Amino acid sequence: MGRASSNTWRWALWAVVGCGAGEGRAPTAPRSAPETGAAPAVTAPAAASAPRSAASISSAPAPTAAATPCPRYEESLARARRFARAGEAAAAIRAYDDAVLARPYDARARLERGQVRLAASAEDALRDLRAARSLTRDPALVIDALLSTADAHTRRGDAAAARLALALAAAHGSPVAREQLAGRSACTATWTTSGLEDARLVTRWSEVLAARQLVNCGDAADSAESEAHARREVCRACEPGGFVPGDACAGPAPWRIPAGYLHCSSFSLLVQPVGAGRLYVDPRGGPPLVAVPGGFLRRSGPEPEFAWNTGDLVEGRGFFNGVRWADTTLELDPPRCPVDSSADAELAMSSGCQAGPGLGLVEPARARWYDAQGRALLEVSEHAGAVSVTWSGPTARLRGAGCDETVVLQR
């Protein structure tokens, strides 16, 4: 899933607005040997790289004799595999680095580099493995990444995360993963009952006004003389350029009230009547609440996000901004070395004006349950398939997506 959000406008890289440099973000993950369960510390599959779906979007003249030679994907990948088979991990990683520089969105090179990194650093390996899984639609590569992810979590001593990775690989059809689960749960969901933020339920418009968060809206009241005044103030829409006339709460509820604009991202305030004279308020403009049987409330859906350039393709020399390896998204001059920017998976754009393509990272769908007073009870993360939740007193039963679990509530 990508990093798209309900309040985010996607801009093409070519429509760059020069309003400052964006930030690169830390990389995410890959691996790729035939499915064998836990990978050896240094291995390299012999499989050839999958064909790319598009030609390079950028090219440059061949370097001069004095310049450092440009990395070439096929040669770098073959060299990395030779080093890996010889047990020379450091040299293999350097060669995989070259392959990644030549083809930034390639899942296979990141996957194999993650496998080689396993012995030295599970954390570095996990970043590569996650990126690899996000950059491919090939089920075999996804399974391979998940098996290596389970191996990395086992090395870190995180049995729960290792079990989840195996359950996900099993859900993709891996017999090796089913065998390694060895009777453990194949549930592909995770959940928590602690550390959850309660729903903000209020009874007065003045409380809504106090909770409102505006972005670049100029002068605005944060208090009111009366409830009628507070409602009028809350229901003023702040669009790019400032407040506009009209009542943003005139239509059917819930009301998503524009609350400002910054660097190609629009912000909003969610206000929703939930019965008994109460209003649910979310200053971040997230999804509304839904009433479910038993007197519970559920919140699920994409969360708003504001970010500068995401990228998620950081290497030692900077991040890939869609055109070149650079320090900012504004460096759009043709690179000295050719870069193949074709991709096998959908790429997400940053929400800032300096938009650069990044990874649509694989993220779980999340749902949170509240009691009638808005107290948070349970949050479920669905990593592969939908999970139904039924309630009985202080317990919740999770079924579906390999799950049949009973969760005892903390309060």
Residue 288 neighbours by CB under 8 Å, 6+ apart: 254, 270, 272, 280, 299
pLDDT at 50: 36
**For residue 265, pLDDT beyond 50:** yes
Tens digit of pLDDT for each residue in 77-125?
A: 999 999 999 999 999 999 999 999 999 889 999 999 999 999 889 999 9
pLDDT at 23: 34
The pLDDT > 90 percentage for the chain reads 59
Residue 144 identity: D
Structure tokens, 40: 């050896």
The span from the CA of 389 to the CA of 37, in Å, is: 32
pLDDT at 247: 97
Residue 340 neighbours by CB under 8 Å, 6+ apart: 52, 55, 56, 73, 102, 103, 106
Structure tokens, 47: 């499989």
Average pLDDT value over all residues in the chain: 81
Omega of the bond leading into 254 within 30 degrees of 0 (cis): yes
Tens digit of pLDDT for each residue in 185-220?
A: 999 999 999 999 999 999 999 999 999 999 999 888
From the list 356, 277, 378, the residue with the least C-alpha distance to 13 is: 356
The span from the CA of 327 to the CA of 325, in Å, is: 7
Residue 151 φ/ψ, nearest 5 degrees: -60, -45
Tens digit of pLDDT for each residue in 304-357?
A: 766 544 445 666 656 676 777 777 666 778 888 888 988 888 777 655 565 566
State mean pLDDT over 266-281: 96
Half-sphere exposure of 66 (CA within 13 A, CB side): 0
**For residue 263, pLDDT beyond 90:** no
**For residue 12, pLDDT beyond 90:** no
Tens digit of pLDDT for each residue in 215-251?
A: 999 888 888 999 999 999 999 999 998 999 999 999 9
**Are 109 and 100 contacting, i.e. CB atoms less than 8 angstroms apart?**
yes
More reliable by pLDDT, 158 or 348: 158
Lowest model confidence (mean pLDDT) among 19-28, 355-364, 368-377, 400-409: 19-28
